[in-house]
Structures are given as structure tokens and as C-alpha cells.
Structure 1
Amino acid sequence: MIALTIGIVFGLSWLPNPHLSKYGFLPARLAYWTDADANMNVRTAVPMVFLGLFSGIWLISRKYGGYWWAGIWLALVLIILIAEVGQLALPRRHFDWGDVMWGALGALGGITAIRMAGFLVKK
């Protein structure tokens, strides 16, 4: 599931046109939301939340400790950076620190949600 979500992140990041409504694979309302100028950076957080959730579940299932959680979050940020650098090769795309920030926050939110759920289940 993690590999599939990483593939989705790269696939969406490296589409030639940043306006997802042009491709027809999203429902109209969702495509409208993703294409709104106000949401162009925020939408990067959405798949990263899921990557954070899936990664957190994996960490809990392996019983990995705190350093692993920080390391996985850094790895997810690296994925965002790779996706953004890849956009430099596309004429209608560009590197955007706002995407990196929102993606990092999304990943942190997903990991944190699973980490907190893990603490609640233990008690």
C-alpha cells in the first residue's frame, strides 16, 4: 500500500499539466477543489496524510520506536522533495516550497494520528 501511494504521489506530481480536471480521473467536485488556486499547495498534503497513516501502521506492526518514526517522516519529506525536483523537467510545472511544506505537514499529521491511536490502544 505504501509503494502504491508513493507511485500516486509521483504520478500526480509529474503530470504535464497541474490542473487535474484536465485528465478526467477525479470526480468533478474534487477536480474543481484541486484546481482552485487557493488549494494548489494544500492538495499536496492529501496523499501524504495517507502515506503517513500507512507508514505509521507499518511502524506499529513492526513495534519500531521513536527514532524510526522520525526517520520515516524524514523519508516521506524526501519523497516530496524528489517529486518536486522531478517537476523541474516539465515545462508547465515548477518546484514549490509550499508543496514541500504542505506535504511534510500532511505526512506528519498521518504519522501523528497513528502514533496517538497506538498510545490510546495501549492504555
Structure 2
Amino acid sequence: MRILYVVILLVAALVLYLSWIPDPKLVKVTFIPAWISRWADEEIFEDIRTGVPLLILGFCVGLLPIVGPSENISRWAITWLLLTALVILAELGQLFLPNRAFSLADIGWGSGGGLLGLTLAAIAKDNIPRFFKPTKKV
């Protein structure tokens, strides 16, 4: 479970870092694999690329024991709002960077990615345990 918390913190920090670097071209970020940076730097993917790390983040957060519609719908909704707030914070930071621009589309894609990740985690939490239950022998 600890590894999940570390992944969540790293992905959240990565979202903020990549949103706040002066140049939006990911090809200049040395730790990002070349195939990812080439994809992300394509003009048609400039907005959707915000949703990808939020999908991963939403999925990881959704796997936590206290989050999920089956446990409590209000916690699940609050978690989605917090993921959306992270994207809004990242976009607000871009207002202070000369080569970056605030984008409502990025907020929409990021919020949608977080929502999809949380939903996939809820589905996984409700369905995966049945595959690991021992079958009864008659």
C-alpha cells in the first residue's frame, strides 16, 4: 500500500512540474522517453496530454481503500474534485510563465482523465477480487 502512496505523490508532483516548466515542449525533458515526448508534442495532442497523467493518478487514488463509489459516493466525488483542483492549480501557475498559457481545455481533459481513472479503479475494485477467490470443490 505504501508504494501506491509514493506513486500518487510522484505523479502529482510530475503534473505540477511538467505544467510549470518554462517550455511546454516535452522533448526537452530528459527523463521522459522519446516516444512519449514525440507523442505529447504533437499539436493535436497538446490538450489531451494533460488527461493522461490524471487518468493514472485517478486510477491510483481510486485504488485506496477509503475511495470508491462502493464505499462512499461523497468521498469519491470529493477525490475527483481534488484531482480537478490539482489541474486548476497547474493551469493557474502557467499564468506566471511567459511561454505557457492558461487553458480551459487542459482543465477539461485533466478533470476527465481523473474521472475516468477513478471510474476504472472503482470497476477494478468491485470486480478483480472475485478472480482471486478460491473455488469450492464439491
Task: Confirm or deny a common fold (TM above 0.5).
Answer: yes
Matched ranges for 1:92-103 at <5 A:
92-103=99-110
Match of 2:37 in 1: 31
Using the aligned pairs only, state the percent identity.
36
Match of 2:121 in 1: 114
Match of 1:62 in 2: 66
Q: Determine if the alignment matches structure 1 residue 73 to structure 2 residue 80.
A: yes
- Identify which of structures 1 and 2 has the higher relative contact order when contacts are C-alpha pairs closer than 8 Å and 6+ apart: 1
CA RMSD of aligned residues (A): 1.4
Deviation at 1:122, TM superposition (A): 6.2
How many residue pairs were aligned? Answer: 121
Structure 2 residues without counterparts, runs of 5 or longer? 1-6, 131-138
Give the 4+ runs in structure 1 shifted more than 3 A.
none
- Which structure has more helix as a fraction of its residues? 1
Match of 1:49 in 2: 55
Deviation at 1:86, TM superposition (A): 0.2
Deviation at 1:45, TM superposition (A): 0.7
2:8 maps to which of 2, 9, 14: 2
Separation (CA, whole Å) in 1 of partners of 2:66 and 2:17: 28
Q: Provide the TM-score with structure 1 as the length reference.
A: 0.91
Q: Provide the TM-score with structure 2 as the length reference.
A: 0.82
Q: Which has the larger radius of gyration?
A: 2
Structure 1 residues without counterparts, runs of 5 or longer? none
Match of 1:85 in 2: 92
